[in-house]
Structure 1
Amino acid sequence: MRIEKIKSGIDRFKNILPKRFYGLRAGLLIHPASVNKKLVHTKNILLESKKVRITALFGPQHGIFGNTQDNMIEWEGFVDKNTKIPVYSLYGKTRKPTAEMLKDIEIFIIDLQDVGARYYTFIWTMALCMEACEEAEKPLVVLDRVNPIGGHLTEGPVLKPDFSSFVGLHHLPVRHGMTIGEIALYFKDNFYPKLDLTVIPLKGWKRNQWFDQTGLPWVMPSPNMPTLDTATVYPGMCLFEGTIISEGRGTTRPFEIFGASFIEPEKLVKRLKDFKLKGVIFRPLYFTPTFNKFSGELCGGAQIHVIDREKFKPFKTAVAILLAIHELYPEVNLWRQPPYEYEFEKLPFDILSGSDRLRKNIEKGTPLKDIEDWWNEEVLAFEKVRNRYLLYE
């Protein structure tokens, strides 16, 4: 396979940053995957750079070091012991930068690796930073990065405003097929029109390229996103966070493995074969999570083996699994109760899927094709908007 030479925004920062930003005091939002092509961290690059002066650091969910293992674990800010620069948490009691956090900076820089799914919280941290910078009249720069699961495939329901939350603040389908820079352009135009936004684009990336075709190094953007295989299934299997079914947290293959203590693996896999899903094979298995749901309990379930990632539809696959489980175990209430990601009233599954329509379809046993038809209509409508913000062919 031919590996392309692709440069991320951080690799182009030195040569592309507009001169009007030179010498400004900067805030920097980063996480562990904020690295250049040589695995040098963005924090170190910009601290040594003469282009800007870093005076504050910000971190999203899991922190700037990725050290909070499970989901929904808050972390507190601190002072970086080496640089004495304040590090502000944007995943805790504060998720939008305050005026106090921004008072000593003149420009806000974001370098986050997204994974291409609406419910991955980094894009919503970016959105709240955009809102804060618009209000404070401070310019914001996004260093663009590739969408690891490609920029040519979209899938899943589009978020409805009544179901807005920290796993979806604005109108997006589940698999959006956009880079974080393209999303920033979309957000600015539609929600933060007065923001002074600059996107430093990628060089050499094509929309149909997956991460392993870029020549860039994979660094876990969060603790339960260890590989590209994880990211491939995530746009569907993250839905399981809104259920009582284990999404594989506490195993070495999160989101690829799923199950529960009451599931009979062979029985479930036999039913899943009836859906004739493309690009995927289910392997029955038993597993015992070390943390999260069913910690220490033997669970039955399956592992998702993607054999053709271009044909594989992660969201459709996840819905098929839930339809099968609901049919085989109708006495089980599948839905996790709130709170979840700072939402205390609506069901976690509903805010993940973007409305209550999908949950009600599953409860009724609506045929998979009929369910897919309505979300396909939503995606097609969104793509007409999305196309205005695409930077790459």
Structure 2
Amino acid sequence: MRAELRLDGVKLAGIDHAILENIAARKLPGAVFHLEREGAVYEKAYGRFTYDEGAPPVTPDTVFDAASLSKVLSTATSVLLLAEEGKLDLEAPLVRYFPECTGGGKEAITVRQLLTHSSGLPAGLPARPAWAGKESAHALACSQAVTHAPGSFFRYSDINYILLGQLVERAAGMPLDRFAQQRIFTPLGMRDTGYRPLERMAAARIAPTQRGADAVAGTALHGDLAPGQLLAGVVHDPTVRRMGGVAGSAGVFSTARDVARFGRMLANGGELDGVRVLREESVRLLTTVQSPPGLALRGMGMDIDSPYAQRPRGSVFPVGSYGHTGFTGCILWVDPQSRSFYVFLSNRVYPDDKSNVLALYTQLGTLSAQAAGVAAAAAAASAAAAPR
């Protein structure tokens, strides 16, 4: 680490204050924050697992439901690995791999369009009539019709990534969770990351997300849950629960330290601690604009400049930085120019999925960039490049 690279303590204190203020307002019970720039690291845990006075404190080892961070930690990265091996063609039509998806305008959808959310498919699978299992999810996904011509419209869609997760399984010849574990999480040393965490760790390490009913009002939440049932180590996303806990759209659980290892790998061009996980070209496809002209700027996985990017990016990180969020209250945001990134994991959906932490996202994005000296670095780079 160069001697002049230090994180700004005043801005770090601002991050602490913002998170603690939201905990005091009962917008989230607990969280872990991690900020890093070229070896300078700030990591801190806040709050408790729940709002109960005797609840366990959150620590840096606390495991969180990463929700849609799964789309980049697992699915998109797996697709790109299979493309590197020639087992998938990113420009091929979906129906080449899934002929059963023919119809409803889906013949024109390509793998690229699924990755960039430009397929024209609806946002999610219907919950009724009741269904369960991966096979039922696949049949439902294949029965959907596009609402817009593929390549002409941006809509963030879980269906896109459910199909991509199933595509990984077909191309790899093994389940998505096993492929991601063997090819991504284990090589990166992400020891606490994976699907269905209760198969390998105690529930006591995992921050809970939601209860099946509001104990006061008696209002049913996520109708597939029993009254009072607490989700801890069971995926929060109801569609993924119906699929058995593993899907391309959600299902990964992780710690902030593990997600930071993934972010560090991307900032290093696909390699970490001497282990290459992705080729540099695959990192480029994942993290730079690959969406059709005129649509929200997305990589083949990462968000760059869509309506969902503006809050976690904040007001200082430039367009060209990239990342993703998760519904449970999670962020990974990376600035390749300054080689800085931040991770925020929380269980803001506890206990009833009613809190809103979007304003906190904006604060974290702005303060993280300021703490890492991103604005100063950009100004210095601009001055160095100016003609003399």
TM-score for both structures, normalised by structure 2: 0.27
* Higher percent of residues as helix: 2
